[in-house]
Structure 1
Amino acid sequence: MNKRFVVVALATGVASVFLGGADAGTPTTLKVITSGGFAQAYRELLPGFEKETGIKVETGSGASEGVGPKTIRYQLAHGTPADVVILSREGLNRLAEDGRIRKGSAVGLATAPLAAAVRTGAAPPNIATVAAFRQTLIEAGRIVMPGSTSGQFVRDKVFPRLDLPASVTLTLVARGTESVEMLKTGKADLAIGPSSELVNVPGITMIGHLPSEVQIIQTFTAGIVNDAKEPKAAKQLIRYLSSQKPATVAAIRRAGMEPARR
């Protein structure tokens, strides 16, 4: 006979709820897929969530948008199990159009502007104005960035507007980690991407945000997958990550983002 149980532990006025499955004492396991944009803050906050709730979380990764097996969209379409996905609002909207996100479950977690980075030790170029940014792109020549929401924006909207010479090349890779690696190893001279993927990364230095005229501010958003096996635990995690508690806000800001406005 399958049973569910609830154990409430009270310590210093905090209640922790443990949800069990078919076997007594078995903790709930929550499956999450997150994009790189929210990954730094997520990694910092997750241990506190697991400790507070007793819920075990298994985490996978994927790109917010783009094509191929490294995208969250591809993974869900090909049977990768997930209860919660965290990605750009644009990417989540596409998943909702596919019918993969529970209606009304989307919650904004944090916002991140586009920024640029160079290898640590390189002279920081000027990107304070559109004209300065354009000149920096020309001098750098080899630009790299993730081919997700931000990469598509820069490729389709920013570069055509700047009328750059053919000597400037933009390489789009599947993930922000690949972009950073290319910069570190000298295969690119300037990386562009969400600030949250360029801050606190050994070997590179974020030099600042792009000018407002060529800027896109992404909202990294969580949503519950339609066929989630643990929707109640999924709601708990989203509430935890979107709370305005000082520790949550601090973790988001350390990752180069701002908490999403409610």
Structure 2
Amino acid sequence: MKTLSLIAATSMLGLVLVMPLAADLKAAELNVIAGGSLTGLLGELGPRFEKASGHRLSIHFDSTPNIIARINAGTPFDLAVVPVDVFKDGAAKTRFIPGPTIDIARVGYGLAVRAGAAKPDVSTPAALKETLLGAASIAFVPSSAAGAYIIKVFERLGIGDVMKAKTRALTGPPQIAPAVANGDAELGVFLTNVLTAPGVELAGPFPADLQHELVFTAAVAADSREADAARSLIDYLRTSEAVATIKAAGMNPG
């Protein structure tokens, strides 16, 4: 009986110790704005964070110009994980807590072809130019931070006007791989993590002379009512588990 009583007392003591901790845990509904190229990554990491934290995420994925417009329109949100270009807009930057942003991931550019198709040479600027000129059509998202850089590359190669006629302009990064896989475009040109998808194969990255990494950075909204929960998501995106997933997605952490 004494043993049973001791066990019961110990159990009660455990409940007493745990209950205050549980009471302190308040599940939050976080409104997140994210770059469209992070759709796959956050689609994988988001549910893991929700399970571990008890918080719930509502993520709006969009292109950089649309993100800036959304933020400047006063749309409520708690944090953003977006291309660093968003913070180059002075008005948008004021919607965030002052201070440095936290870099989450970065990734370079490349070309993709339909799975099983011959992979063209893109190893040098001259080879990339020849490949682009030889393609019947290309798919990318011109109205995005990544798209703006791709257009600059076309201009550096001296083929800006020619590529306009070949472009299949899409509205979101997740549309690029299906367009190439379905034959709607011969080539997909974008961030390499977006081009790592079913139905397509990466032909190669941009040559070193033309390569550039787009940085995705995070910050908490200045007027967020869930700032602590928002910071916990940013902290999670820097954990070893998240870093491993970022690498597996073809991106570089930080």
Q: Partner of 2:214 in structure 1?
A: 218
SS of 1:186's equivalent? coil
Q: What is the TM-score of this pair, normalised by structure 2? A: 0.83
Q: Note the 1:139-158 alignment, pairs <5 A.
A: 139-147=134-142, 148-155=144-151, 157-158=152-153
Question: Structure 2 counterpart of 1:185, which letter?
Answer: N
Question: Structure 2 counterpart of 1:215, which letter?
Answer: Q
Q: Partner of 1:209 in structure 2?
A: 205
Q: Partner of 1:8 in structure 2?
A: 21
Kindly state the Cα deviation for residue 91 of structure 1 after the two structures are TM-superposed. Answer: 2.1
Give me the whole-angstrom Cα distance separating, in 2, the residues matched to 1:180 and 1:174. 13
CA, structure 1 residues 165+62, in 2 after alignment: closer, same or farther (shift >3 Å)? closer
Q: What is the aligned residue count? A: 233
Give me the whole-angstrom Cα distance separating, in 2, the residues matched to 1:166 and 1:105. 38
| Contact map agreement 2:121 2:128 (CA 8 A) in 1 | yes
Q: Partner of 1:198 in structure 2?
A: 195
The structure whose residues are more often strand, as a share, is: 1
SS of 1:197's equivalent? coil
Gaps in structure 1 of 5+ consecutive residues? 1-5, 10-15, 20-26
Kindly state the Cα deviation for residue 195 of structure 1 after the two structures are TM-superposed. Answer: 1.3
1:228 corresponds to which of 217, 224, 249: 224
Give me the whole-angstrom Cα distance separating, in 2, the residues matched to 1:122 and 1:17. 56
Give me the whole-angstrom Cα distance separating, in 2, the residues matched to 1:177 and 1:251. 18
Q: Partner of 1:48 in structure 2?
A: 48
Question: Structure 2 counterpart of 1:186, which letter?
Answer: G
Give me the whole-angstrom Cα distance separating, in 2, the residues matched to 1:7 and 1:109. 33
2:182 corresponds to which of 180, 185, 204: 185
Kindly state the Cα deviation for residue 46 of structure 1 after the two structures are TM-superposed. Answer: 1.9
SS of 2:76's equivalent? coil
Confirm or deny that 1:85 pairs with 2:80. Answer: yes
CA, structure 1 residues 17+44, in 2 after alignment: closer, same or farther (shift >3 Å)? farther
Kindly state the Cα deviation for residue 87 of structure 1 after the two structures are TM-superposed. Answer: 1.2
Q: What is the TM-score of this pair, normalised by structure 1? A: 0.80
| Contact map agreement 2:176 2:195 (CA 8 A) in 1 | no
Give me the whole-angstrom Cα distance separating, in 2, the residues matched to 1:79 and 1:137. 40
| Contact map agreement 1:141 1:167 (CA 8 A) in 2 | no
Name which of structure 1's ranges 247-256 and 32-41 shifts more when overlaid on structure 2.
32-41
Kindly state the Cα deviation for residue 8 of structure 1 after the two structures are TM-superposed. Answer: 3.0
CA, structure 1 residues 230+190, in 2 after alignment: closer, same or farther (shift >3 Å)? same
Gaps in structure 2 of 5+ consecutive residues? 1-18
Kindly state the Cα deviation for residue 7 of structure 1 after the two structures are TM-superposed. Answer: 5.2
Give me the whole-angstrom Cα distance separating, in 1, the residues matched to 2:224 and 2:57. 13
Kindly state the Cα deviation for residue 40 of structure 1 after the two structures are TM-superposed. Answer: 2.2
Give me the whole-angstrom Cα distance separating, in 2, the residues matched to 1:193 and 1:127. 14
Q: Partner of 1:59 in structure 2?
A: 59
Q: Deviations over 1:84-127 (max 9, x none)?
A: 11111112332665522221251100110011111112111111
Kindly state the Cα deviation for residue 166 of structure 1 after the two structures are TM-superposed. Answer: 5.7
Give me the whole-angstrom Cα distance separating, in 2, the residues matched to 1:96 and 1:115. 32
Give me the whole-angstrom Cα distance separating, in 2, the residues matched to 1:226 and 1:248. 25
Question: Structure 1 counterpart of 2:59, which letter?
Answer: T
Kindly state the Cα deviation for residue 251 of structure 1 after the two structures are TM-superposed. Answer: 0.3
Name which of structure 1's ranges 79-88 and 170-179 shifts more when overlaid on structure 2.
170-179
Task: Give me the identity figure in percent.
Answer: 30
Structure label with greater radius of gyration: 2
The structure whose residues are more often helix, as a share, is: 2
Give me the whole-angstrom Cα distance separating, in 2, the residues matched to 1:107 and 1:46. 18
CA, structure 1 residues 159+165, in 2 after alignment: closer, same or farther (shift >3 Å)? closer
